[in-house]
Each structure stands twice: as C-alpha cells, then as structure tokens.
Amino acid sequence: MQKMMVLDGILEVLADGEWHHLTEISAKAKPLRELSITDLETILYTLSEYDFVEIGEEPHFVLETRINPIVRDFWKKIKWIERKEENEKVMNF
C-alpha cells in the first residue's frame, strides 16, 4: 500500500473539519481498512506531531482527531488543482 494513499485517505475523511473517531476513520477510506487500528493510531499521532491533525482528549480511550484548519485549506486547494488538471486532460483528448 502506498504511503500517499494512506495520507490521502486520512485527509479525505477529515476534510470536513469535524472530529472523527479512530474506528470511523478506518472504516471510511478504503486504503485505511487494510491497516490495523494500532498502525492507524501511530500514523495519526505522527501526523499530530507535525500539526497535520489535532488529537482530542481521549475520553474512555477512544481516539478522536480532526484536520488542522491550515492543512485542510491547503489539501482542498491541491484537490481543486488535481480536478482542474484532470478536466483539462479530458477536454484536450
């Protein structure tokens, strides 16, 4: 599994800016379903160290996370550019 697919899957789920439980993140994105919960948790904690995501308080040992708003805006711009480039390819074909 490609690392970028994992990162893209995580950011796709978190793009709404809301808090999401670890199990919800794992279930929503296809590349993430192949990861163990422990591996996903490790990735999320690593992303939080670099301020890509925020980790919430852990009530009842359920990890919650959300995307950093600055990263969210940046990721959405990247996705917009990707869609624009894809549309241009289709138009030029």
pLDDT at 50: 95
- Using pLDDT thresholds of 50, 70 and 90, give the confidence band for residue 52: very high
3-state secondary structure of 2: coil
Give residue-wise pLDDT tens across range 56-88.
876 655 689 999 999 999 999 999 999 998 888
For the domain covering 3-92, report its CATH number: 1.10.10.10
In this structure, which amino acid lies at residue 67?
Answer: I
The arithmetic mean of pLDDT across residues 2-22, rounded, is 88
* Structure confidence at residue 55 as a pLDDT band (50, 70, 90): very high
Average pLDDT over residues 28-51: 89
Q: What is the DSSP string of 38-93?
A: HHHHHHHHHHHHTTSEEEPP-GGG--EEEE-HHHHHHHHHHHHHHHHHHHHHHHH-
Cβ atoms of 13 and 25 within 8 Å: the answer is yes
Task: Locate the domains of the chain by residue range.
Answer: 3-92
**What was the pLDDT predicted at 88?**
81
pLDDT at residue 86, rounded to an integer: 87
The whole-chain average pLDDT of the chain stands at 87
Place of tokens 């160290």: 49
